[in-house]
Every structure is written in C-alpha cells, then in structure tokens.
A and B are shown apart, each in its own frame.
Chain A
Amino acid sequence: MTYLITQTLNGLFSAALLFLIASGLTLAFGVMKIVNIAHGSFYMLGVYIAYTVILRTQSLLLGAAAAIVVVSALGFVMQRFFLRRFGNDPLAQMMMTMGFALLFRDATLMIWGGDPFTLQYPGWLRGSMEAGDVVFPYYRLFVIVVAALVGVALWAINEKTLLGARLRATVDDPEMASAMGINVTLLSGLVFAAGAGLAAFGGVMGGPILGGYAGLDFDLLPLAFVVVIVGGMGSLKGAFVGSLVVGMIDNYGKALVPELSYFTLFAPMILVLALKPTGLYGRA
C-alpha cells in the first residue's frame, strides 16, 4: 500500500511536469499546426536561465520569472520572423524547429558547458511530508499543486474569457477567425510565446529534481509528444488527461519493469492511435 501511494505520488509529479511542457506544445499545434521539435529546448533553456539567475539571487521566483520572460520572447521571435514564413508548409516548419533545437543545444553547451547540475530551491520547501509509512518530499508536492493551479488557470482563460473564445475560434477555423476581426498572425505568435514560456516554467519546476544536463531537451521531447498524441493534438483537456496517463504509466513502468520502460511508454500511444487516431480529445 505504501509502495502504491508513493509510486502514485511520483507519477503525479511526472504528470505535473509533463503537463507544463505539453500544454504549450498542444496549444501551438492547435492554433498553428506546428509540430515543434524545439519545444524540449524551451524547457532546457528555462532550466539553464533559471540556474544563472538563482546562482546570483538565490531566488527561485526570480529565476522562474527570468526564464519565462526570456524564453517567451525567444519563442515570439522564432514564430514571428521564421516559422510564420512557412505558414502552409508543416514539413518546412518542422525542419526549421529541428534546426532551432540543434542551435539551442549547441548554444547551451557553449554558454553553460556540459556539466550537470540541479537548481537550488527555497528552504521552506525542503524536507518531506510523512503520513504513516508514506514519505514524500514537499518540493514534489509543491510542483504538483503549482501544475494543477496552472491547469485551472489555463482552463479558465480558454473557456471563460474573450481571449479564450478568440483562441478556440482560431483553432476551429483560422480563416473565419480572421474574417471576424481576429489578428490570427499576432495571436499565433502570442500562443507560441506563451507555450514556450510554459515549457520554460516547467523547466524551472523540474530543475531541482531532474536538473540540467546536455541532452535534457531530447530526453523530454518524446514524452511531451506522447502526451499530446494520446490526449489529442490541440486539446488542453487532452494534454491534462494525457499527462496523467503518461506520467503514471511511465512511472509505474520504470518502477515495475525498468527494462521495458520505452515499451510501456509507447505501447499505450500506439494503442490509442490505432483505436482513435485523433487522440482521446482531439478533433478530426
């Protein structure tokens, strides 16, 4: 029982990080149909930028703010000046994001070197919660709560605000959205920037546990894609459910049959694709 609870909590922690990464990936796909290979790089850049800022200020909050601002701006520029030029060519866009991913990887190596590290976090989040035999670190609990709050905020923006309605209109029918007065180009840039910022924030949240190292970007990218494909590309709800499914499966898979960890991760994805090609909450 203790084992089950601990593993479930660990699964929730993985799901929380995955949701922060995948929600931006799925939003960008919904609005722009961009398959963004550089999305894992946004996470990685978030970790490294926060690392530099936290070294100087000792503040996780400042580190998170800097990571979000810088990476969002980077995402905006990337969309506005590069990806937008290939508006109707998903393959060209994907290749370009691949190029950016490699560029970011080498730039990170050049600026920060290849030594692994973990992010420092505030003292009040150290230590572990103990309930009976279950011991679970406060920091992981904190990340689960933060991701849940981000999820609620994203849901509220998407479903309850005019901006969210404009966003959904653009996902439904971009051409009609522009005919109804929505500047789809600007909105796309903002969504891409917000998605990049979310991934960077995910990096800061995951940084104290997973740390930063060379290759982090491409370690996380497949997981994020599995989440988005299982949940349905373009669906926020799908990213939420997909994160839970993949977080749990990945965690239990690695705990129970570590030698099959990639199988347990990709088998559900293939199953979902075979039964419902659009993903759980995707649209045709």
Chain B
Amino acid sequence: MLQITDLHTYYGESHVLQGVTLAAARGTVTAVLGRNGVGKTTLCRSIAGLTPARAGAVVFDGNDITRTPPYRIHDLGISLVPQGRRIFPSLTVQENMAIAVNTTRSQGWDLQKVFAVFPRLAERRQNRGNELSGGEQQMLAIARALVARPTFLILDEPTEGLSPMLVAEVAGVIRRLKDEGTSILLAEQNAAFAVKVADYVHVMSKGVVVHSTDPVALWQNEEVKTQLLGVPAAVSPPNTRPGT
C-alpha cells in the first residue's frame, strides 16, 4: 500500500533521513520506533508532503507522491495526526474537523460517528481549540484525521503526554481502525505501547531503519531494546499481544 524507497530528507543542510526503506502493508499497523531525534517525525512529514524528500520515492497505491503537495496527498487518502497535535486554536472543535472533511470516499467516518465514539468532543463541539485539555486535543487530532476518511493514517507520537487511561483509549481506537480496514503507520518513542498494537515494527537510528521485525521478536531482543529504544532491561514484557 505504501512503499518508501531509499528516502533522503533534509532540513536545510541537515541530512535527517539518510536512505529510509520500508513498506506498510494494507490493513496493518506498522510501527516506527526509535529514540528522540532519529527521524521518525521527519519520515511522517515526508510521507504527508510537509517536508518533501530530496531523493528516493514514496509510492502510495501505485502513485508516486514524493513531491505531491500536502493537500493533494490528503485528498488521496493519507491523513496525518501530527506530533504535538497542532489543533487550530481559533477554530471550534466542530470547525477543526469540518475543514478536513472529505467525502470523495463514500464509506467512512463523519462528524456523527466521531461524536458517538468520542462523546467528550460532542460536549466540547463549540469550544475553541485553545480551550481544550491535552487529552481532548489528542482525541480531536485523531478525529480530524478520521473525518477525511483516510485509507492510510499516520500517527506521530499519539501517546505523548497522555495519562495511562488515555493511552489505553488511543490503543482502543487504533485497534478499531485496523478492524475497519484502515492501514496505519505509528511513529512512537513509547515502545511498550507500540508493540501492543503493531503488526510489524521498524526501528530507526540516525536517519535509517536498522532493525525490522515482528513485535514479539522485538520485545525479546534485549540488545535492540536497550541500545536503540532506551527501554531499561528490567521492564517486563507487555502482557497483551497483537491479536489477543
């Protein structure tokens, strides 16, 4: 569904992605893990068209979107839940979603479904973005991506700064979307969370993918966990597994 080949992305002179190659299969959750600063967010931005790659290719459903403008990529069915949420502060909850609505795909989410699934957003629908709590903003960022009826969803650090209860809610949403057939790319520092929801895991370091495996194998690989993910060796394996 999404094929990334030898992607090189720069911020000015700074060479951030140094040849990333990975694929995300249809209907799966693909996690990209790694410490802060390894290029996860840049990878998300390059796919969404915000920081186009200088070399390499992003191919989505057979279309080369490497240098397609972001609003066209959004139309093609890729939605972004950006790092830091980036809710529009002067728009109401409802407006934040309304501007992103895309009805070219007949099936999928609309505002009614969002309000049914996130009752908190329904209560706050007339509040402006800058009046929301961090958790509410994260739910809105996800909802804003969903009303575009994406076939491919990019989640960049969706659990950052959330309480354990809200992290569990995000996990529930990811599983639900996967069941509905949405393909997901999940960029996370929180490896313990990612391995619970992902079908496949890529580990990045210094702008390249250095390790690709299934989540169970990753969690048993102490070397990768401590060296590349910063997970202390003492942390016990998560008790839920994909598919359980």
Residues of A in contact with B (beta carbons under 8 Å apart): 162, 165-166, 168-169, 171-173, 175-185
User: How far apart sit A184 and B70, CA to CA, in the bound complex (Å)?
Assistant: 10
Residues of B in contact with A (beta carbons under 8 Å apart): 48-50, 69-71, 74-75, 80, 82, 86, 88-91, 95-96, 98-100, 102, 144, 148
From residue A231, how far is it (CB to closest CB) to chain B in Å? 16
Closest to B141 in A: A176
- List the A side residues contacting B49 at CB < 8 Å: 178-179
Number of A-B contacts (CB under 8 A): 62
Asked if A172 contacts B90 (CB within 8 A), the reply is yes
| A165-B91, A176-B82 known, 20 other contacts, Cβ within 8 Å | A165-B98, A166-B99, A168-B95, A172-B90, A173-B88, A175-B50, A175-B70, A176-B86, A177-B88, A178-B50, A178-B70, A179-B48, A179-B70, A179-B82, A180-B99, A181-B74, A182-B71, A183-B71, A184-B71, A185-B69
Asked if A179 contacts B90 (CB within 8 A), the reply is no
- List the A side residues contacting B89 at CB < 8 Å: 172
Asked if B74 contacts A179 (CB within 8 A), the reply is yes
Closest to A182 in B: B71
From residue A20, how far is it (CB to closest CB) to chain B in Å? 24
From residue B102, how far is it (CB to closest CB) to chain A in Å? 6
Asked if B99 contacts A179 (CB within 8 A), the reply is no
- List the A side residues contacting B90 at CB < 8 Å: 168, 171-172
Asked if B88 contacts A182 (CB within 8 A), the reply is no
User: How far apart sit A175 and B71, CA to CA, in the bound complex (Å)?
Assistant: 10
User: How far apart sit A179 and B48, CA to CA, in the bound complex (Å)?
Assistant: 7
User: How far apart sit A178 and B74, CA to CA, in the bound complex (Å)?
Assistant: 8
- CB-CB under 8 A for A173 and B99, given A179-B74, A179-B80: no
Interface centre among A162, A166, A171, A178 (most CB of B within 10 A): A178
